[in-house]
Amino acid sequence: MTRRLVIGCALWLAAALVGCDFGSSDGGSADGPRVVSLSPALTKMVVDLGKGEAIVGVGENDAAAPDGAAVVGTYLDPNLEKLLELQPTLILTMSDKDGVPKRLAEFASQHGIQLVAYPVPKTVTAVASILYNPGELIIAPSPKADDATDDGDSDSPSDKPAPSAGPTQQQTLGFLLDAQARAGELYFDLLASLAAVREVTSEHTYTIEGANLQKRTELITAIDAIADEAERKARRAALPRVPPRYPPVLLVIGTQPLRVVGPGQVHDNLLNYIGASNAASVMKDGAPTIDKETLLKLAPSVILIIEPNGKPLGSIGDDPRLASFRGLSGVDAKTGQPLVPAVANKRIALIDDPMALLPSTSLGDLAMKMAKAVHPEVADKIDAAVKKAREASSGGRAMTIEEVDQFLRDTARPSNDPDTVNNITPDNPDDND
């Protein structure tokens, strides 16, 4: 995978939710906004809001860009001359903890262009709130033109602008683009789809857990009946470990070297909705590079390789993307357990959705694909449940406000909760950065 894909996975900062009243108008005026989007995730949202025609410019490598949109460089290095030529009225982007780059903020301020930078979301609900229920935003232009100084470091980030006084409906994409009704539909459709996936996969994992625990209990009873103490202890030591409530899944976002999704990212949070845990939740970095030793300790049950538009996987021996997993299909000589269960059981799957790395409106479809890869036994049930949820949302709200509130409470548990993950911790996780 290219470096671009890894950068594209720098997703995610949490946003709080507020009221859910729909607006009444979707139509823009004849001289509506001229939008430049420097975030592929926001581009996808604007297009799904039915406002793709308002986009006049996008950043480089934007897979969601509508036809005809001009390329204006990158978020960190925009082509200001091209930006000025496009005469945008609104620039959209996502901002990390360093805030809006000073050069971009000054440009917007000097030319009277509204610049809205949403904090990079870390949860699915934070993504949804950009559309309809807003969270903490960073609103620019900042600093003011009068305060701008040429200190020879115009490309460095500006001082982080102060957050808005509080989450307001006026700061959402739905409001900014006069598409509040459609934004509300997308918001509830996303949550309803995730709720449907979660219901099916949760029921399935409970069933699997019950079967495994029953089998384990039977084995322990038989072992305890063995008269020879040494043999009894040996048999006990060789027992399979009790599986976690949710299977540990390793999300791979780069294969050469092996880079995975760590804790505190949107895709890490998404695993909560598909009946899975993050095998890399014990890592400290959000997108760590890991070696074979760490892979052995993480011992994922399933490996999902996220590569937008990726070609179908070949064999481990022939496909260079699978090189990190070679030689790991055997069993541990001491325990008799698979070295890496996902490799031993051939549970490596490709997620090739073009929008798979974006924290955007595409997360509902992505959750379906991931869930079916992790729980293929209930793939048909997942499809049926999501279809039913979406059919309900097409006639109005898919969930009531009370249902949304309960749903958010149910899914708020961090993915590294001891009850939901594999408790195998690398000795020195920081050594793999």
pLDDT digits (tens, 9 = 90+) for 140-183: 433 333 333 344 443 333 333 333 332 356 789 999 999 988 99
Three-state secondary structure call for residue 279 = coil
pLDDT score at 227:
81
Query: Hunting for tokens 């924290």 — which residue is that?
Result: 359
| Window from 164-178, 241-255, 315-329, 344-358 with minimum mean pLDDT | 164-178
Three-state secondary structure call for residue 207 = helix
**Residue 431: other Cβ atoms inside 10 A:** 11
pLDDT score at 160:
35
pLDDT score at 71:
97
Q: Where are the domains of the chain?
A: 27-178, 189-204+246-432
Q: What would the two tokens of residue 171 be? A: 């700061």
Prediction pTM value: 0.72
Residue 429 pLDDT > 80:
no
Q: What would the two tokens of residue 54 be? A: 């308002």
Do 71 and 19 meet the contact criterion of CB atoms below 8 Å apart? Answer: no
Cα separation, 3 vs 7, in Å, equals 6
| Window from 143-147, 187-191, 276-280 with minimum mean pLDDT | 143-147
pLDDT (average), residues 399-416:
51
pLDDT category, 203, cuts 50, 70, 90?
confident
| CA 315 to each of CA 291, 348, 369, 374, 428: distance values in angstroms, whole numbers, following the listed order | 20, 11, 21, 19, 31
pLDDT (average), residues 117-133:
89
Do 420 and 273 meet the contact criterion of CB atoms below 8 Å apart? Answer: no
- The rounded percent of the chain whose pLDDT value lies above 90 is 53
**Residue 355: other Cβ atoms inside 10 A:** 17
Sheet with 35-37: strands ordered across:
70-71, 55-58, 35-37, 90-95, 114-119, 138-140
Burial level of 90, CB count in 10 A (0-12/13-18/19+)? Answer: buried
Q: Which letter, b or e, does each residue of 278-302 get, where b requires 16 or more Cβ atoms within 10 Å of its Cβ?
A: bbbbbbebbbbebeeebbebbbbbb
Cα atoms in the Cβ-side hemisphere of radius 13 Å centred on 6: 15
Kindly report the CATH number that applies to the domain delimited by 189-204+246-432. Answer: 3.40.50.1980
**Residue 427: other Cβ atoms inside 10 A:** 8
pLDDT (average), residues 379-397:
81
pLDDT category, 394, cuts 50, 70, 90?
low
Q: Which CATH superfamily is domain 27-178 in?
A: Nitrogenase molybdenum iron protein domain (3.40.50.1980)
Whole-angstrom Cα Rg for the chain: 24
Domains 27-178 and 189-204+246-432 share a fold: yes
| Window from 58-72, 88-102, 162-176 with minimum mean pLDDT | 162-176
Give the residue among 374, 372, 201, 207 at the shortest CA–CA distance from 301: 374
Q: Which letter, b or e, does each residue of 375-398 get, where b requires 16 or more Cβ atoms within 10 Å of its Cβ?
A: beebeebbbebbeebeebbeeebb
